[in-house]
């Protein structure tokens, strides 16, 4: 008789499957950061050179057009998105798209903080996308490319017209470096390097198209802008921000860590190599889900499934028969069991999302580690299922 409680023979070499901050690149070591100009001003020549190098390597690896500006800004992706919202919105109506918690957060900021009375909200439940055909591109459009807390991404940029009147403001924090971003369809792109590249947290990246720059230089919002959000002076873009002269003091250790990750990515072949690794990781999980009788993707449409933040729901009939609180507790017990074993850390669903599991599958994750993880997920499910009253 098979022992359902027997532990798998193989373990992930790296148990870090958190969706942010994410796993460091394979082979990472603190010693790799020895060239960081610590104890020096970021405005001194070495610091400015490092920041400029980070911007240009970002352009190369992410394939950002030459006429787009790239700036390193404070407060992670949140800071980059807020700078865009506060600086650019209000010139025309706004369509706000939300299908998970971060998109919903941007809706709250625009409706309740900026108090735009010409904002329209298009929402969808976790696991689905709003009807993209209903977006009005005479408005500015704000959306996440990849819903980090739902595992649902837009499939491509075909739904965005080239001749749009408004700006497209895209939070791409868990998509950048793993998914194709059609920059000709995007006017503002934001991300933090703590996601796909596994960099140290607290810094964001803001990418602006020429159309976004034109808006900044021709429009002044009705509300006051905190110093940390200001991108113009005297009606002109502060170009230094996009050459490495940051708005506030960056951590040069974090910048060095980002450079280390960018150079690793460049060595893989850049964006195509990073995307291939993430796609291979998603395939491992998709193949496992297809054979599983207890779990499924939260994303209903395969074309919208994220290859980075993979969100799963427990579909076992016995668990589904439980109340909502008990279902949530069951999913947490699986994550907790794997945490105790040192097999997988931080794989519980996001606090605002439906109960389940969230497994990071981005480019810094090794495919072999995900293959091993699936064995342990099955083990943890069996063990926790045996503890349920109906299993007695």
Residues 246 and 262 placed together within one structural domain of the fold: yes
Residues 202 and 248 placed together within one structural domain of the fold: yes
Residues 204-221 pLDDT 10s = 999 999 999 999 999 999
Mean pLDDT of 270-293: 98
What is the pLDDT, as a whole number, of residue 151? Answer: 98
- Band of pLDDT at residue 392, cut at 50, 70 and 90: very low
Residues 208 and 287 placed together within one structural domain of the fold: no
Residues 369-381 pLDDT 10s = 999 999 999 999 9
Residues 284-340 pLDDT 10s = 999 999 999 999 999 999 999 999 999 999 999 999 999 999 999 999 999 999 999
Is a pLDDT exceeding 60 seen at residue 391?
no
Contacts of 263 (CB under 8 A, 6+ apart): 57
In a domain, 376, yes or no: yes
Residues 120 and 254 placed together within one structural domain of the fold: yes
Total-model pTM:
0.97
Domain boundary among 225, 246, 267: 267
Q: Indicate the DSSP class of residue 200.
A: P
In a domain, 182, yes or no: yes
Domain boundary among 267, 299, 321: 267
- Band of pLDDT at residue 3, cut at 50, 70 and 90: confident
CATH number at residue 119: 3.40.640.10
β pairing state of 140-144 and 94-98 = parallel
Report the DSSP beta bridge partners of residue 146: 153
Q: How far apart are CA 232 and CA 304, in angstroms?
A: 37
Residues 147-162 pLDDT 10s = 999 999 999 999 999 9
Domain boundary among 202, 234, 267: 267
Do residues 369 and 14 lie in contact, with contact meaning Cβ atoms separated by under 8 Å?
Answer: yes
Mean pLDDT of 248-265: 97
Residues 83 and 225 placed together within one structural domain of the fold: yes
Share of the chain above pLDDT 90, in %: 97
In a domain, 333, yes or no: yes
What is the pLDDT, as a whole number, of residue 20? Answer: 95
Residues 13-24 pLDDT 10s = 999 999 999 999
Q: Whole-number mean pLDDT of the chain?
A: 97
What is the pLDDT, as a whole number, of residue 390? Answer: 66
In a domain, 27, yes or no: no
Residues 75-86 pLDDT 10s = 999 999 999 999
Tell me which long-range contacts 102-106 makes (C-beta under 8 A, separation of at least 24). Answer: 102/144, 102/147, 102/148, 102/149, 102/171, 102/173, 103/143, 103/144, 103/147, 103/171, 104/352, 106/81, 106/142, 106/144, 106/171
Range of the domain at 228: 36-267
Residues 169 and 285 placed together within one structural domain of the fold: no
Mean pLDDT of 59-69: 98
Residue 156 — φ and ψ, nearest 5°?
Answer: -170, -170
Mean pLDDT of 89-109: 98
Is a pLDDT exceeding 60 seen at residue 272?
yes
Residues 305 and 378 placed together within one structural domain of the fold: yes
Do residues 164 and 157 lie in contact, with contact meaning Cβ atoms separated by under 8 Å?
Answer: no
**Residue 384: C-alpha distances to residues 118, 198, 272, 325, 334 (Å):** 49, 31, 40, 15, 7
What is the pLDDT, as a whole number, of residue 2? Answer: 63
């Amino acid at each position: 008789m098979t022992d359902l409680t027997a532990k798998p023979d193989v373990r992930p070499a790296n148990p870090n499957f958190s969706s942010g901050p994410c796993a460091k690149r394979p082979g990472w070591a603190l010693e790799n950061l020895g060239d960081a100009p610590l104890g020096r001003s970021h405005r001194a020549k070495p610091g400015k050179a490092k920041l400029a190098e980070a911007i240009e390597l970002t352009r190369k690896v992410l394939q950002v057009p030459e006429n787009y500006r790239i700036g390193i800004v404070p407060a992670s992706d949140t800071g980059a998105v807020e700078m865009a919202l506060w600086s650019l919105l209000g010139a025309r109506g706004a369509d706000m798209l939300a299908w998970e918690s971060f998109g919903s957060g941007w809706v709250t900021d625009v409706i309740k903080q900026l108090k735009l009375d010409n904002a329209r909200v298009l929402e969808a439940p976790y696991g689905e996308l709003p009807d993209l055909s209903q977006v009005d591109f005479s408005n500015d459009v704000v959306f996440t490319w990849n819903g980090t807390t739902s595992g649902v991404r837009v499939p491509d940029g075909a739904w965005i017209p080239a001749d749009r009147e408004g700006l497209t403001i895209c939070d791409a924090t868990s998509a950048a470096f793993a998914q194709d971003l059609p920059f000709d369809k995007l006017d503002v792109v934001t991300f933090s390097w703590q996601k796909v590249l596994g960099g140290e947290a607290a810094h964001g990246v803001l990418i602006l198209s020429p159309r976004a720059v034109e808006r900044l230089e021709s429009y002044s919002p009705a509300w006051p802008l905190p110093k940390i959000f200001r991108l113009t002076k005297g009606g002109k873009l502060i170009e230094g921000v996009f050459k490495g002269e940051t708005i506030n003091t960056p951590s040069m250790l974090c910048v060095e860590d980002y450079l280390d990750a960018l150079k690793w990515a460049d060595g893989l072949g850049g964006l195509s190599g990073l995307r291939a690794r993430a796609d291979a990781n998603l395939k491992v999980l998709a193949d496992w889900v297809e054979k599983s009788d207890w779990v499924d993707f939260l994303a209903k449409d395969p074309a919208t499934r994220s290859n980075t933040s993979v969100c799963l729901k427990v579909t076992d009939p016995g668990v589904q028969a439980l109340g909502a609180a008990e279902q949530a507790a069951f999913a947490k017990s699986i994550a907790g069991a794997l945490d105790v074993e040192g097999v997988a850390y931080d794989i519980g669903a996001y606090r605002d999302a439906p109960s389940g599991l969230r497994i990071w599958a981005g480019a810094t994750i090794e495919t072999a580690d995900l293959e091993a993880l699936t064995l342990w997920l099955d083990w943890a499910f069996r063990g926790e299922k045996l503890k349920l009253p109906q299993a007695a």
